[in-house]
Structure 1
Amino acid sequence: MAEILSSNPDVPKGRKAFIPLENNPEVMSSLVHTLGLSPSLAFHDIFSIDEPEMLAFAPRPASALLFVFPVSKTYEKHRVEEDAEKAEYEGKGEGEPVVWYKQTIRNACGLIGILHAVSNGSAREFVTPNSDLQKLVDGAVPLGPIERADLLYNSQALEKAHQGAASQGQSNAPGAEDDVDLHYVCFVKDAKNDLWEMDGRRKGPINRGSIGEEDVLSEKALGLGVRLFLKREEEAQGGELRFSLISLAPSMD
């Protein structure tokens, strides 16, 4: 497999491409439940992080947070600068604090973000034994990043579940080969209470610092992740920013 340069981390044309998932919690929940995540957990829209009364409606604790945004020049500049001094990630095995997936399928950043959410932290406890999801995660853990990416690339169960979810959206989905500017970054908490930024376009997972006993939707976690991103974008662009937040948390059913 050809390496993807950090200056241009997007998957090259000619690689397998998926129809992009709709930015929709119901579609995402359907995907992970099909793979084998317990219905006790589901994805939820977060409508505001600045209005406490709105945030109070969000189910807690949130085990993962998906941050969805259009890739901008500001974001790309920050990514290149931050990754410049980092070596390519080589983590694997049971001692790995988080399970990170390198993206090698075009238009699959939503899928990679979802897999980061369900493969890490407390969400792992809700994976159904002997399910496709458990087999996928258990198979990924001992592998290095390239072999792990190949595992996802070649997984028929994952491709089938993704195709089923992609057909459920309410909007007209782009084609698998289309260029899509929306990107997904996932935030998870490890067993030592550190917050990790999980992005398949980066050189590896990024430890953003300790959040103690708080969840990934807490003000402390937001301050170490999402709010820093928004501050950079606002300073560079000004005006209102387009983004979405989706949490993985207890189901409301």
Structure 2
Amino acid sequence: MATEQSRAEPQGTAVSQAAEKRYFVPLENNPEVMTSLTHKLGLSPSLQFHDVWSIDDPDLLAFVPRPAYALLLVFPVNETFAKFRAEEDKDKPEYSGSGEDEDVVWYKQTIGNACGLMGLLHGVSNGAARAQIQSGSDLDTFIQTAIPLTPKERATLIEQTEALKTAHAAAASLGDTDAPAADADVDLHYVCFVKSEKNGHLYEMDGGRKGPLDRGELKADEDVLSPAALEKGVRAFLKREEEAGGGDLRFSLIVLAESLD
């Protein structure tokens, strides 16, 4: 899977309907950009993001350090996905979990064009990556504050945390493509796949949905780039697009894993 350097956010994502709706400049799906943002917020330099050039070629996949802690997928928000999302979400209740007993920490998105930031927060708030956040950093303070809150309260916290806004703005100015306006309509979207340390399940984390999506159990030695995780996660997106006869294959992947330096 070749990586496309693109900025992502879906048209129609569930965001606040308040008169003063907030927007962030979309982030480019670029490992250097995402690494810069997470390090600025307080993730240990021992972790970084890497391109995933293919999920089918074992030789290319072997270039990615393992274990893989979080997988960020960028994909086109089109009619195929919109129909699937509506069907899957229609009977689901709004997630209301909070506290240390949650299987995963989920954040609801209320800021337009902030799906990249949401993906990063989901990736570092869950799984083994969370243990590699520097104590006392902006990221550590944010997550510790967010844990006991409800999803609605967490969304407000994200809106009001100046450190997130400042770091995001700096990262949005980086990358290989020109940054669009903050309130531009962009038809690409980020989701994050993480493995829960509580129950060993793979979760699809999307702040525009009703809550975290449990995609099934993984074995102890399986990470988010294992064949089982890819089948339950990324390949499900590709399969839907292929079955619908869609030709829009603007899918790209980056993964959080150990640094190469």
User: With structure 1 as the length reference, what TM-score do the two structures score?
Assistant: 0.95
Which amino acid is the alignment partner of residue 80 of structure 1? A
Distance (Å, rounded) in 2 between the aligned partners of 1:48 and 1:112: 24
Any idea what SS the aligned residue of 1:95 has? coil
Match of 2:74 in 1: 68
Distance (Å, rounded) in 2 between the aligned partners of 1:231 and 1:250: 30
How many percent identity over aligned positions? 61
Deviation at 1:208, TM superposition (A): 0.6
Aligned residue runs from structure 1 range 111-190, under 5 A: 111-190=117-196
Any idea what SS the aligned residue of 2:55 has? coil
Distance (Å, rounded) in 1 between the aligned partners of 2:78 and 2:56: 23
Are the counterparts in 1 of residues 15 and 111 from structure 2 also a CA contact under 8 Å?
Answer: no
Any idea what SS the aligned residue of 1:66 has? strand
Which amino acid is the alignment partner of residue 14 of structure 2? P
Distance (Å, rounded) in 2 between the aligned partners of 1:39 and 1:151: 25
Count how many residue pairs are aligned between Structure 1 and Structure 2: 247
Deviation at 1:238, TM superposition (A): 4.2
Which amino acid is the alignment partner of residue 63 of structure 2? F
Change (3 A) 1:240 1:167: closer
Deviations 1:147-202 (A, max 9, x none): 00000011101001101111122210111011111100100001121000100010
Match of 2:232 in 1: 224
Match of 1:109 in 2: 115
Q: Does 1:212 align with 2:219?
A: yes
Any idea what SS the aligned residue of 1:196 has? strand
Match of 1:31 in 2: 37
Match of 2:258 in 1: 250
- List runs of 5+ in structure 1 lacking aligned partners: 1-6
Are the counterparts in 1 of residues 76 and 249 from structure 2 also a CA contact under 8 Å?
Answer: no
Which amino acid is the alignment partner of residue 120 of structure 2? I
Are the counterparts in 2 of residues 234 and 241 from structure 1 also a CA contact under 8 Å?
Answer: no
Deviation at 1:239, TM superposition (A): 4.1
Q: Which shifted more, 33-42 or 10-19?
A: 10-19
Distance (Å, rounded) in 1 between the aligned partners of 2:227 and 2:202: 12
Any idea what SS the aligned residue of 2:166 has? helix
Match of 2:203 in 1: 196
Q: List 4+ stretches of structure 1 deviating above 4 A.
A: 10-13
Deviation at 1:237, TM superposition (A): 2.4
Aligned counterpart for 2:14 among listed residues 6, 9, 14: 9
Are the counterparts in 2 of residues 92 and 144 from structure 1 also a CA contact under 8 Å?
Answer: yes
Any idea what SS the aligned residue of 2:244 has? helix
Any idea what SS the aligned residue of 1:237 has? coil
Match of 2:249 in 1: 241
Match of 1:4 in 2: none
Which amino acid is the alignment partner of residue 78 of structure 2? S
Deviation at 1:9, TM superposition (A): 2.0
Change (3 A) 1:239 1:177: closer
Distance (Å, rounded) in 2 between the aligned partners of 1:239 and 1:155: 39
Any idea what SS the aligned residue of 1:184 has? strand
User: With structure 2 as the length reference, what TM-score do the two structures score?
Assistant: 0.92
Deviation at 1:243, TM superposition (A): 0.5
Deviation at 1:229, TM superposition (A): 1.2
Aligned residue runs from structure 1 range 72-111, under 5 A: 72-111=78-117
- List runs of 5+ in structure 2 lacking aligned partners: 1-11
Any idea what SS the aligned residue of 2:87 has? helix
Deviation at 1:241, TM superposition (A): 1.4
Which amino acid is the alignment partner of residue 229 of structure 1? F
Which amino acid is the alignment partner of residue 52 of structure 2? I
Deviations 1:59-92 (A, max 9, x none): 1110100010110111011111101110000000
